[in-house]
Structure 1
Amino acid sequence: MRRVGIRYARAALILLPAMLLAYAVIVSVLIAFPRQSAVRSSDAVVSLGPASDRLPLAQQLFESGRADSLVISWAGPMPRDAEENAPDEPLDQRLCSSGDPRIYCFVPSPSDTLGEATRVRQLAVEEGWKSITVVTSRYHAFRAEFIFARVMPQDVEVQVVHAETELGVRGWLYHLAYEHVAFIKAVFETALR
C-alpha cells in the first residue's frame, strides 16, 4: 500500500513541473503571438486603456467608417468640456471632450480589463450593439480576448485587433510575466461571475 503512494508521489513530482512548463510555453506563445482578427466593420470600436498606443488605431478605424461608435476607456479624470482643452492635449482627452454623441468615454471600475469589459457590456446592451472591435496592445490581446469573450452577451461578436508596440527584451519579459499572472487572475475572476 505504501509503495502505491510513493509511486503516485513520484509521478506527481514528474508531471507537475512538466504541466507547469507546458502551461508557461503555451501561454507565452499566445501572449507573444496573439491571433489578429481581420478588421471587419462593427457597431463600436473600443480602445482599452492606457490609450497612448491603442487609441490612434481605434480612432483610425472609427474615422474610416469601420464602426459607428468609438468607446474610450479613460484612465484619468474625465474632461469637463472642449473649451478647457488646448490642441496639444492628449488625444483621448480631446476626443472625450469633443461633444460627439458617437464617442463614449468612461473610467472603468474596477480599473482593469474586467472592469472595461463589464462597462462595454453595459453599453452594448443599452445601445443594441451586435459587434465590437476591441483595440489593445499586442501583449494584452490574448487576455483581452479571453475576458471579453466571457463577459459580453452571447449575441455580440467580439473581434480583437492589436496596435503594434515597440518593446525591447526587458519590456517583453516584463509583459510576459505580468500577463501570465493577470491571465490566471482573469480565469478565476471570470469563472466566479
Structure 2
Amino acid sequence: MSRSHRINTRTAVVAGLVAVLAGASVFGGLGFRLFTVDHSDTLRKADAIVVLGGEHDGREDYGLALARAGYADTVLISDPYWPRTPEDALMDRVCGDPPPGIEVRCLRPAPSTTRGEAMITARLAAERGWSRIIVVSWRFHLVRARYIFRQCFGGELVLRSVPRAYDFSPPLWAFTYAYQYAGIAKAAVLRC
C-alpha cells in the first residue's frame, strides 16, 4: 500500500469519526434542549384541560387537580387503553366519578396518537367555542405536542408537563430523543 493511500485512508477514518461525534453531539445536545428541559407554560385559565394518553404516571389526577384549582371546568382525558385490563381501574375511576362541578369526558382518539388527540380536541373546541386549552403530557413530549396541536387547534395553547421525575439511563434518553425526533418528522408530513 502506498504512503498516499495510507494517508487518504487515515484521513477518511478520522473524518468519519469526527462526523459521527459531531452528529452524536448535535443529536444529544438538541435532544436535551428540546426534550429534557421543561417547556411548560405558565398556568392560566382555559376553556378545557386536555390530558394526553401515554402512561398512568399521575397525569389524569394532575389534570383533575388543575380543574379543581379553577383553571378550567372541563377535562378531556384521552382514553386509548383498549381493551381494558385490570390495571386500568384508574381510567374507570377518573372517567366514571368526576369531581363536583367539573365535566370529565374520556375520549378514544382515532388514530390513537397525539395527532388523533389533537384532532378530537379541535373538533370539540370548534363545537364549544374554546379559544384556550391546557394540554398535559410528559415533559419530553411537550415540544412535539405543541407542534401537533398548533397544526390542529387554532386557539391558544398552555402546555404543562406531568410533575414527576425522569430517572432515565443514557440509552433510554437516546431512544426517547430518537422517538420524539421521528414523531416531529411524521407530524410535519401528515399535518392535521
Normalised to the residue count of structure 2, the TM-score between the two structures is: 0.75
SS in structure 1 of the partner of residue 115 of structure 2: helix
Pick closer, same or farther for the CA change 1:92–1:185 going to 2, 3 Å. Answer: same
What is the rounded CA distance, in whole Å, between the counterparts of 1:127 and 1:106 in structure 2? 16
Shift of 1:148: 0.5
SS in structure 2 of the partner of residue 175 of structure 1: helix
Shift of 1:23: 6.3
SS in structure 2 of the partner of residue 174 of structure 1: helix
**Matched residues, number:** 168
The answer for the alignment partner of 2:119 in structure 1 is 118
- Percent identity between matched residues is 28
Pick closer, same or farther for the CA change 1:105–1:29 going to 2, 3 Å. Answer: same
SS in structure 2 of the partner of residue 90 of structure 1: helix
What is the rounded CA distance, in whole Å, between the counterparts of 1:165 and 1:177 in structure 2? 20
SS in structure 2 of the partner of residue 37 of structure 1: coil
Give the partner amino acid of 1:61. Answer: L
Shift of 1:27: 4.6
Given candidates 32, 36, 48, the residue that maps to 1:32 is 36
Shift of 1:159: 0.9
Stretches of structure 2 that go unaligned for 5 or more consecutive residues are 1-14
Matches within 5 A, 1:71-86: 71-77=76-82
Give the partner amino acid of 2:40. Answer: Q
CA-atom RMSD in angstroms: 2.9
Kept in 2: contact 1:50–1:74 (CA 8 A): no
SS in structure 2 of the partner of residue 144 of structure 1: helix
Shift of 1:50: 2.3
SS in structure 1 of the partner of residue 47 of structure 2: strand
Matches within 5 A, 1:1-193: 24=27, 25-53=29-57, 54-77=59-82, 90-98=89-97, 102-153=103-154, 156-163=155-162, 164-169=164-169, 170-190=171-191, 193=192
Give the partner amino acid of 2:94. Answer: L
What is the rounded CA distance, in whole Å, between the counterparts of 2:69 and 2:83 in structure 1? 26
Q: Which has the larger radius of gyration?
A: 2
Shift of 1:28: 4.3
Report Cα offsets for 1:89-110 as digits up to 9, x if no partner. 6332212123777111111101
Normalised to the residue count of structure 1, the TM-score between the two structures is: 0.75
Give the partner amino acid of 2:160. Answer: V
Pick closer, same or farther for the CA change 1:43–1:103 going to 2, 3 Å. Answer: same
Shift of 1:189: 1.3
Stretches of structure 1 that go unaligned for 5 or more consecutive residues are 1-12, 80-85
